A and B are shown apart, each in its own frame.
Chain A
Amino acid sequence: MSPPATTAGMIYARPTPAKRAERAVFWLLRLSTYFVLACAACIFLDIGLKGGAVVFRKEAPFINVPFLTRAPETLNVLEFEGRKLTLGDAAFRKFRAEHEAALKGVRVETYVYSAGGIFPNIVGTVLLVAGSIFIALVLGVLSAIYLSEYATEGPFIRFLRLAIVNLAGVPSIVFGLFGFGLFVIAFDFGVSLLAGWLTLALMVLPIIITASEEALKAVPKGYREGSLALGATKLQAITTNVLPYALPGILTSSVLSIARVAGETAPIMFTAAFVVRDELPWQVQQWTDFFFQGVMALPYHIYVVASKIPQNEYTRDVQYGTAFVFLFTVAAIAMTAVVLRLRLRRKYKW
């Protein structure tokens, strides 16, 4: 008879199939994560380095101010007195007026959108995001309140919820065409901010409704009952003792939605985006025109400069510069929501 294993003997590690599987899976998990991180790092580094080179300058004011404050212009490239000149449209017109005679017979190559800046695109994207998130939050939070606080659970509500979840799976190009058909044509809004807002809002509504409902449901039932037991109406209980505590969660959903709304090209290309527009959004005849004007937008601009114009050494700068500014703009808007959420969370701690 062999002696029984001592306790000390038992605690030394011995490889077993279960332990080997554990190690293998652990490494698989770790490597997957690293792979994802590496991909993200490549994207950000590429855009950060090449785009940063366009947006930042080595000497004061360290930022490429015209790129951020001017509209896109056509680039004119010409050989003049042995030098190669690259001039934006405005500069070229001035130059031509001064050297009228000397320019006779000089060959001028033009490249669209490769000079100037992207200011109207930044403005357009900010407007599109702000308006559509506002509409989506209002509609989404109201629906979520109805679903979580008022609706009686039943087949109809279950069907409604299913429909909302499925809406989240509809491709954005379908939303774009829907918005085009309904808002642009049927409602006759034209290609306009309003049509873009509504289309984008519809696209992110499922995210906002679902997340808001979760946030409302996460508020302890005791707060509702406590309010009602003190003689509050249901509406009073919700507005004073449920919604405020759900706001941080609702804002989390809006951070996701902001990224989505800002980034999508398909929904706006039929409904709100212009390739080029000379006036800025606030340069309107009367204030109602504001809602019915098309805008330039960053994602659509990237699409245009990356695929709709002849590619050459000059377009690259615009592409990377725009992508960089785009990422930065989205991050900045999302940060606003994050900061707001942090402040609310500190105010209503539970």
Chain B
Amino acid sequence: MSEPAAPSTAARPVTVAAAAPADPAARAVIEIDDVDFSYGPSRALHDISLAIHERKVTAFIGPSGCGKSTLLRCLNRMNDLIDGARVTGGEIRIDGVNIYDPRVDVIELRKRVGMVFQKSNPFPKSIYDNITYGLRIQGMKNKARLDEIVERSLRGAALWDEVKDRLHESALGMSGGQQQRLCIARAIAVEPEIILMDEPCSALDPIATAKVEELIHELKRDFTIVIVTHNMQQAARCSDRTAFFYLGKLVEYAETRTIFMNPANPQTEAYVSGRFG
């Protein structure tokens, strides 16, 4: 029995999406500039610098504990909640504004930088109340407007047809994949510019994962997306640019295609080919 000769790239464990055209003109929405980060005395990020482009999907990959979530949570200052955790050096600018400037209102920041968590966390309320949560706390009461946004957000998250008849039932009755897409819908309801996703598919089965990935493709038209994943196929399938982290340092950051097909750094090469991590 003979097998057809595999093309040389098939030896790699991943398939790569059609090459995103290199776009040197793409605007950098988020500029991470020489950032250091510590949890109390322990240093988690060392001198990270990278620019995240508008309306692109940027993936953070790397072995567990390398600081992907830490960096992601710096972008909407979610780390402020952790006692003793702080950025100890460098700057993160969004649209040119240093988000750690004392004048920055972290509430406004989080409205512009939405987040989807690893463990899907729909509130134990109705689907409708989940979607409208962000708007209601801002004081929006107009029922017609809220209805409209609910429909638009659910359509945006490819969930409308599945749930339109049970908007007022508890969100906890949905399947795991639906719950995660609901969290995405909830995030886009407040119309952010940037959506951060921390391993959004790690608890989902392959079919639900495929749906979320498809959704990420759609969302890219309107939002800048940063996704953390430990699944390299996922990074390869749905991101335009990929950053590889190791032990709190940025090892390589380039077009996804380059990272997977032709990495410059031997560590990256070893990681993406599955030899460690």
Q: Which A positions have Cβ atoms within 8 angstroms of B?
A: 152-153, 220, 222-233, 236, 240-241, 245, 348-350
Q: Is B107 an interface residue (CB 8 A)?
A: yes
The residues of B that contact A152 with a CB separation of less than 8 Å are 83
* A230/B110 in contact, CB under 8 A: yes
Among B108, B121, B122, B138, the one with the most A-chain Cβ atoms within 10 Å of its Cβ is B121
B 109-127 contacts with A by CB, 8 A = 110-111, 114-115, 117, 119, 121-124
The residues of A that contact B114 with a CB separation of less than 8 Å are 229-230
Cα of A236 to Cα of B183 in the assembled complex, Å: 19
Cα of A151 to Cα of B115 in the assembled complex, Å: 25
The residues of B that contact A220 with a CB separation of less than 8 Å are 121
Known: A153-B83, A231-B108, A233-B107. A226 touches B124 (CB 8 A): no
Q: Which of B76, B111, B119, B186 sits near A222, CB closer than 8 Å?
A: B119
A236: shortest Cβ distance to chain B, in Å?
5
Q: Which of A225, A240, A241, A350 sits near B81, CB closer than 8 Å?
A: A225
B222: shortest Cβ distance to chain A, in Å?
18
* A229/B78 in contact, CB under 8 A: yes
Q: Is B18 an interface residue (CB 8 A)?
A: no
Q: Is B170 an interface residue (CB 8 A)?
A: yes
Q: Which of B107, B121, B122 sits near A231, CB closer than 8 Å?
A: B107
* A231/B124 in contact, CB under 8 A: no
* B123/A241 in contact, CB under 8 A: yes
Could you tell me the dominant secondary structure of chain A's interface residues?
A: helix
The residues of B that contact A230 with a CB separation of less than 8 Å are 110-111, 114, 133-134, 137, 186-187, 190
Cα of A318 to Cα of B158 in the assembled complex, Å: 71
Known: A236-B137, A349-B172. A229 touches B123 (CB 8 A): no
CB closest residue in chain A, given B112:
A231
Cα of A222 to Cα of B78 in the assembled complex, Å: 12
> Chain B interface residue count: which class?
20 to 34
B82: shortest Cβ distance to chain A, in Å?
11
Cα of A153 to Cα of B76 in the assembled complex, Å: 24
The residues of A that contact B122 with a CB separation of less than 8 Å are 226
Among B107, B114, B119, the one with the most A-chain Cβ atoms within 10 Å of its Cβ is B107
Can you identify 6 A-B contacts, CB atoms within 8 angstroms? A222-B117, A226-B183, A227-B133, A228-B81, A230-B186, A245-B124
The residues of A that contact B183 with a CB separation of less than 8 Å are 226
Q: Considering the complex of A and B, which 9 residue pairs feature the smallest CB-CB distances, nearest first? A: A222-B121, A230-B134, A350-B124, A231-B111, A229-B115, A226-B121, A231-B110, A232-B137, A236-B137
Known: A153-B83, A222-B119, A236-B137. A229 touches B124 (CB 8 A): no
Among B122, B137, B172, the one with the most A-chain Cβ atoms within 10 Å of its Cβ is B137
* A349/B124 in contact, CB under 8 A: yes
CB closest residue in chain A, given B108:
A231
Cα of A240 to Cα of B133 in the assembled complex, Å: 9
The residues of B that contact A231 with a CB separation of less than 8 Å are 107-108, 110-111, 134, 137-138, 190
Identify 6 new A-B residue pairs, CB closer than 8 A, beyond the known A153-B83, A349-B170.
A225-B117, A228-B78, A230-B187, A231-B138, A231-B190, A348-B124
The residues of A that contact B123 with a CB separation of less than 8 Å are 223, 226-227, 241
* A225/B108 in contact, CB under 8 A: no
The residues of A that contact B76 with a CB separation of less than 8 Å are 229
